[in-house]
Chain A
Amino acid sequence: MITPKNLDEALTLLADRAAGWKPCAGGTDLMVLFEAGKLNHTKFVNIAALTELHGIEERSDAIEIKALTTYTDILKHATIQREFPSLVTAAALTGAVAIQNRGTIGGNIVNASPAADSPPALLAYDAQVELISVKGVRRLAYADFHKGYKQMDLQPGELLKSVLLPRTHAELHHYYRKVGTRRAQAISKVCFCGVVEREDRIKNIRIALGSVAPIPLRARRTETFLIGKQLSSKIIDEAKKIIDQEISPIDDIRSTAKYRRRVTQNLLEEFLCGTGSTN
């Protein structure tokens, strides 16, 4: 492992594909795998101290969260608390304090676990991500970033630079619920994040899920179905059927596909009825 002086040096190292360098930030995921002998890799670029990748910037149209921002930084940020409460909830439910102090938003994204806690919130807030390499910066919708299980639109030599959350003046109802077996330090079995703008009818809605598909999933068909609808038990029942078709959960050591399906539907109902743990 080596510590580069600055971002440029880090990007140069990472650009040399033959050398085989990989980035390491807070280490909260990577060190577990490394210690368990599940990473053959030993060449790491220590990016933790790169100042270029730290900080939260508020602009009029968006909040930019740099990749090395920790969960603790996120959950203490007043504007994020006010405008993106589900991301704060997600950060507060990621590990516990010691993990929140080290784990980074960038790491949570590029570790690409379908069970990660912040991606559903980022998807529901329609986030964009910026990627940087020696070739420059590119931006894409976060919803297009995850391609398959542990597959991302991330080229060799590219680092996640920042996450952008578009700001809005709309009156939103925010809902985030992580279902793990225990209330803290859990790995989610189902994670549900919803944002809805509602007048008489549903004007705008975004729904995202964790742990029920190979990737953090945006439930677009369910959203499309619900937009313009006036809620009724019949509409909710239909939406539940649609979301059930969108997800593809599995049986594993943490839960069952059946449980994940049922709970996803129940959470959708709770979200739509606005009775549950809202922010």
Chain B
Amino acid sequence: MAENAIGQSVVRREGREKVTGQAKYVDDLSFPGMIFGATVRSSVPRGRIRTISFEGTIPWNEFVIVTAKDVPGKNIVALIEHDQPYLADGMVNHPEEAIVLLAHPDKYLLEEARRHVRIEIDPLPAIFTIEDSLAQKEIVWGKDNVQKSFLIETGNMKDAWTNGHVVVEGAYETGAQEQLYIEPQGMIAVANPADGVTVRGSLQCPFYIHKALIELFALPPEKIRVIQTETGGGFGGKEEYPTIIAGHAALLAWKSGRPVKIIYDRAEDMVATTKRHPSRTKIKTAVDKQGKLTAMNIDFVIDGGAYVTLSPVVLSRGTLHSFGPYACPNVKITSKAVATNTPPHGAFRGFGAPQSLFAIERHMDRVARKVGLSPDEFRRRNFLSDGKTMPTGQIVRDGVDLSALLDRALELSHFHDKRRRFARENTTSAIKKGMGLATFMHGAGFTGSGEAYLASIVAIEATKEGIVRVLTSSTEIGQGKNTVFAQIVAETLRIPIDRIEVTMPDTAIVPNSGPTVASRTAMVVGGLVAEAAKNLKELLKKKDIHFPVKVTAQYQQPKDISFDDKTYRGDAYGTYAWAVYVAEVSVDTVTYEAHVDDFVAVQEIGKVLNPTLASGQIEGGVAQAIGMVLYEKVEWKEGRMVNGQMTNYIMPTSVDVPPIRVFFEGVPYRHSPTGAKGIGELPMDGPAPAILNAIEDAIGVSINKIPCLPEDILEAMERSRA
């Protein structure tokens, strides 16, 4: 079965349906009697709802209308904290908060009606920035606006700054970013007291929705069913928000007794759903005469928005990556997620790590300059390697050789040759070129004891016809889970891949193998699939088997991995992917436009299960990160995104991306039966600092804030000239 097995570029399982237009996404589905739902939102960032009135010449009696008082169970979106309502009741805390739901068979009349719901709100003072939230200009959440905080301390910070070391301080900022999956969010719900609630839609995490709908409807788990439809991209954007749309569609269906479809249009999707958390990081480091880091003081803050949602775990991952892939004896990290009156920020590929790694990797370049070392040499002197300890106390055991990765990346990108050449040529050219690099890691799987707590289960069924069915709640969102799981089973059972079915998640059928997030699907769930396949193989050796048979496998924390959630010490992640990225950039000093001309991505991701899919993940992530750095800027006004169109929120097109050259090293992960590590989020982390480091190399101007659009480059060049 070599051609079907692990390590081969097996063709995407659902690819044929996708290239022929036959794949069914949520908006492609219809049910008898189905009507359409719409959401009426707040108009102000913060205030008290006074009145809701239904105006105009709309036939309101034909409409299904749902407000907070129609909620059968608890009006909360059950996730980490129970602070967010499904429908605002009394207070609104951000300008896109849902207040009224409408449904009608005619989409056009529905849209007309939405414009005629008048909601009077008495405004209250609101805050929109990290600074105002930290300064408690208004208290908009809890006692002090702080949704979560962490402290990590190791060594002795006191003496590190005094004895002749080079001390460098810096402040770094990252902005919001829209996931901009090309398929807008949507759900279809069927709900009634007799049968319970069934929702279908575009989503990453079926059991998140399942859990929340149990609370919303006060129904037993077996009365809630969540089914994924083909999903047109997620990137974290369909991690938590689909729970809200599912609930809204279900509330309308529950009240009307008819199937209800809610599909967001692009504008609603962009302004109302979650985006990447804006952040600011302050870093102070000391370096000794040998160019070794002796102390790091990092203060990392993210803007959580109006409700907590996933901010504590985003903060956690950001915090646990904030020190980069470097060893340092004395480290103090403080971090906070603070509330503002913007729509809650949420999961987005990288989940906090791109923000804090941007800061440390920009900082490392600045320190290298200060101590007179090349950016690669300074990093090399400080790399973590096997046996070294991270600030969390975690001892690296990945068998990683970052120096070798760095060498390879420098060579493939001609880093030093080009740097020298550009420095020469830039003096006479209006287009200035530069080279920049970033070295980083990305922890695979849930943070800390997350995986142990989740205790994911997968199941595999075999029928007497010889069909093997893989049952997990992992969703195919384009990353290739269907294909990779089939490859794993084919390899383990030595059967042709076309006898394997990878089931579309349906909570009535599949066990809870956890959400499709955190670069965990291939590594953690794929590992369980391999284990279950092994169990099946053993079972099939027995005589007298009554088909169909079903086997399961459940996650168990390896004995040598432990994390203390209280002290935040221990093995933050079972393993990490490690990478060195190099960007070649040109800056046009006529228009201040920066363009990435070449991009080299070298990474160690464990065993590569499917090279085409794996490199596709890296290429897509790098392009998305290039967008985050050079093109994509969310324009805010009073907590509301005002450029919520694809015309005005600029993502890279096919002419904007450079050649993205992807290279893998593979040291198999010791605790994964397949040897795979996480990969999906890694490529989001490195490009931002690599590109800004290259811009500094090109124009000699230090820019420490992303996004960095031509207007920002102009401003920075002027500041540096002044």
Residues of A whose CB lies within 8 Å of any CB of B are: 36-37, 96, 177, 179-187, 189-190, 253-256, 258-259, 262-263, 266-267, 269-270, 275-276
Whether A185 lies near B653 (C-beta < 8 A) is yes
Q: Are B590 and A182 in contact (CB under 8 A)?
A: no
- A186 to B591 CA separation, bound complex (whole angstroms): 15
B138 located at the interface, meaning its Cβ lies under 8 Å from any Cβ of chain A in the complex: no
- Which A residues are in CB contact (< 8 Å) with B647? 187
Q: Mark B644-675, 1 if CB is under 8 A from A, else 0.
A: 00011010111110000000000000000000
Q: Which single member of A184, A259, A267, A270 contacts B655 (CB below 8 Å)?
A: A184
Is the CB–CB distance between A255 and B711 below 8 Å?
A: yes
Q: Are A266 and B653 in contact (CB under 8 A)?
A: no
Measured between beta carbons, the chain A residues less than 8 angstroms from B635 are 253
Q: A183-B653, A263-B590 are in contact. List 18 more A-B contacts (CB 8 A).
A: A36-B267, A37-B115, A96-B653, A179-B593, A181-B593, A182-B653, A182-B656, A184-B656, A186-B650, A189-B710, A253-B635, A253-B642, A253-B648, A254-B648, A255-B711, A263-B592, A270-B430, A270-B590
Contact A37 B631 (CB under 8 A): no
A259 touches B711 (CB 8 A): yes
Cβ contact within 8 Å between B653 and A258: no
* Cβ contacts under 8 Å, A190 to chain B: 591
B714 interface neighbour in A186, A253, A259, Cβ under 8 Å: A259
Q: Which residues of A contact B650 (CB under 8 A)?
A: 180-182, 186
Q: How far is the CA of A17 from the CA of B592 in the complex (A)?
A: 48
Separation of A180 and B709 alpha carbons in the complex (Å)? 11
Distance between Cα atoms of A276 and B592 in the complex (Å): 14
A183 touching B655, Cβ below 8 Å? yes
Q: What are the residues of chain B within 8 A of A37 when measuring CB–CB?
A: 111, 115
Chain B residues within an 8 Å CB radius of A253 = 635, 642-643, 648
A182 vs B646: C-alpha distance when bound (angstroms) = 12
Q: Are A182 and B710 in contact (CB under 8 A)?
A: no
Q: How far is the CB of A69 from chain B (nearest CB, A)?
A: 24
- 4 A-B pairs with least C-beta separation: A266-B590, A259-B711, A183-B655, A184-B655
Contact present for B656 and A267 (CB under 8 Å): no
- The smallest beta-carbon distance between A186 and chain B, in angstroms, is 7
Q: A53: shortest Cβ distance to chain B, in Å?
A: 27
Complex A-B: 18 CB contacts under 8 Å: A177-B591, A179-B591, A179-B593, A181-B593, A181-B631, A181-B710, A182-B655, A185-B653, A187-B648, A189-B710, A253-B635, A258-B711, A259-B592, A259-B714, A262-B592, A263-B591, A266-B590, A267-B591
Which A-chain residue is minimally distant from B267 (CB atoms)?
A36
Interface size bracket, B side = 20 to 34
B565 to chain A, nearest CB (A): 43
A275 to B428, CA, bound (A): 13
Question: Known: A254-B648, A276-B590. Is A262-B654 also a contact (CB below 8 A)?
Answer: no
For A259, the closest partner residue in chain B by CB is B711
Contacts of A275 in B (CB 8 A): 430
CB distance from B653 to the nearest CB of A (A): 5
**B592 partner residues in chain A, CB cutoff 8 A:** 259, 262-263
Q: Bound complex: CA of A89 vs CA of B92, how far in Å?
A: 50
In the assembled complex, the Cα of A270 lies from the Cα of B589 at a distance in Å of 11
| Contact of A262 with B714 at beta-carbon distance under 8 Å, contacts A179-B591, A275-B430, A276-B590 already known | yes
Task: Note all chain A residues with C-beta closer than 8 A to B656.
Answer: 182-184
Closest CB-CB distance, B695 to chain A, in whole Å? 16
A186→B709 CA distance, assembly (Å): 14
- Residues of B397-432 at the interface with A, using a CB-CB cut-off of 8 Å, are 430
| A184 touching B653, Cβ below 8 Å | yes
Chain A nearest CB, measured from B632 CB (Å): 9
Q: Chain A contacts of B591 at CB under 8 A? A: 177, 179, 190, 263, 266-267
Residues of B within 8 A of A259 (CB): 592, 710-711, 714
Closest-by-CB residue of A relative to B717 is A262
**Nearest chain A CB to B146 CB, angstrom units:** 32
Report the minimal beta-carbon distance from A258 to chain B, rounded to whole angstroms.
7
Q: Which of B111, B595, B650, B654 has the most CB of A within 10 A?
A: B650
| Residue in A254, A258, A267 whose CB lies within 8 Å of B590 | A267
In the assembly, what is the distance between CA of A185 and CA of B475, in Å? 32
* Min CB–CB distance B221 → chain A (angstroms): 41
Residues in A with CB closer than 8 Å to B642 are: 253
B631: A residues at CB distance < 8 A: 181-182
Q: Which residues of A contact B714 (CB under 8 A)?
A: 258-259, 262
Question: Cα distance A256–B111 when bound, in Å?
Answer: 34
Give every chain B residue within 8 A of A256 (Cβ-Cβ): 711
* Chain B hits for A184, CB < 8 A: 653-656
Q: Which residue of chain B is the closest to A255 with respect to CB atoms?
A: B711
Contacts of B653 in A (CB 8 A): 96, 182-185
CB-CB nearest in chain B for A260: B711
Q: Which residues of B contact A189 (CB under 8 A)?
A: 710
In the bound complex, what is the Cα–Cα distance between A187 and B635 (angstroms)? Answer: 16
Interface residues of B in 258-285 (CB under 8 A from A): 267
Q: Which residues of B contact A186 (CB under 8 A)?
A: 650
Query: How many angstroms from the CA of A219 to the CA of B714 in the assembled complex?
Result: 24
Task: Specify the chain A residue showing the minimal Cβ separation from B652.
Answer: A182
CA distance A273 to B648 in the complex (A): 32
- Bound CA span A267–B430, Å: 12
- Point out the residues of chain B lying under 8 angstroms from A185, CB to CB: 653
Q: With A and B bound together, what is the CA distance between A99 and B623 in angstroms?
A: 24
Q: Which residue of B lies closest to A186 (CB)?
A: B650
A177 CA to B652 CA, complexed, in Å: 19
In the complex, which residue of chain A has the Cβ closest to the Cβ of B643? Answer: A253
Looking at the assembled complex, report how far the CB atom of A104 sits from the nearest CB atom of chain B, in whole angstroms: 19
Interface residues of B in 602-648 (CB under 8 A from A): 631, 635, 642-643, 647-648
Docked-complex contact A181 and B709, CB < 8 angstroms: yes
Alpha-carbon distance between A54 and B384 when the two chains are bound, in angstroms = 68
**Complex interface: chain B residues within 8 A of A262 (CB):** 592, 714
**What is the chain A residue whose CB lies nearest that of B654?**
A184
Q: List chain A residues, Cβ under 8 A from B267.
A: 36
CB nearest to A35 among chain B residues: B265
Closest Cβ–Cβ distance, residue B718 to chain A (whole Å) = 9
A182: chain B residues within 8 A (beta carbon) = 631, 650, 652-653, 655-656
Please, how many angstroms separate the alpha-carbon atoms of A37 and B635 in the complex? 22
Q: Report Cα–Cα, A267/B710, bound state, in Å.
A: 15
Say how far A135's CB is from chain B's closest CB, in angstroms: 37
B-side contacts of A269, CB under 8 Å? 590
- Cα A190 to Cα B590 with chains together (Å): 12
Chain B CB within 10 A, most for which of A186, A190, A263: A263
CA distance A266 to B650 in the complex (A): 24
Please report which residues of chain B, range 683-718, place their CB below 8 angstroms from some CB of chain A when the two chains form the complex. 709-711, 714
A-contact bits for B183-213, CB 8 A (1 contact / 0 none): 0000000000000000000000000000000
Which residues from 50 to 71 on chain B have a C-beta closer than 8 Å to any C-beta of chain A?
none
Could you tell me the distance between the alpha carbons of A269 and B591 in the complex, rounded to whole angstroms? 12
Of A177, A185, A258, which is in contact with the most chain B CB atoms at under 10 Å from its CB? A185
Docked pose: A128 CA to B501 CA in angstroms: 66
CA distance A276 to B431 in the complex (A): 11
| Chain B, Cβ-Cβ closest to A262 | B714
Residues of A close to B595: CB separation below 8 A: 183
Q: In the complex, what residues of B have CB within 8 A of residue A266's CB? A: 589-591
Complex Cα gap A182–B656 (Å): 6
Instruction: Kindly state the separation between the CA atoms of A263 and B710 in the bound complex, as whole angstroms.
Output: 10
Give B630's nearest chain A residue, CB to CB. A181
Residues of A within 8 A of B652 (CB): 182
CB-defined contacts of B655 to chain A, threshold 8 Å? 182-184
C-beta contact mask, B343-360 vs A, less than 8 Å → 1, else 0? 000000000000000000
Please measure, in the bound complex, the distance between the C-alpha atom of A276 and the C-alpha atom of B111, giving whole angstroms: 49
> B627: shortest Cβ distance to chain A, in Å?
9
Nearest chain A CB to B510 CB, angstrom units: 38
Distance, CA A273 to CA B643, complexed state (A): 36
- Chain A CB count within 10 A is highest, among B111, B430, B590, B654, for B590
Closest to A270 in B: B590
Query: How far is B631's CA from A34's CA once the two chains are assembled, in angstroms?
Result: 28
Closest to B711 in A: A259
Who on chain B is nearest to A275 by CB? B430
Question: CA of A87 to CA of B647 in the docked complex: distance in angstroms?
Answer: 23
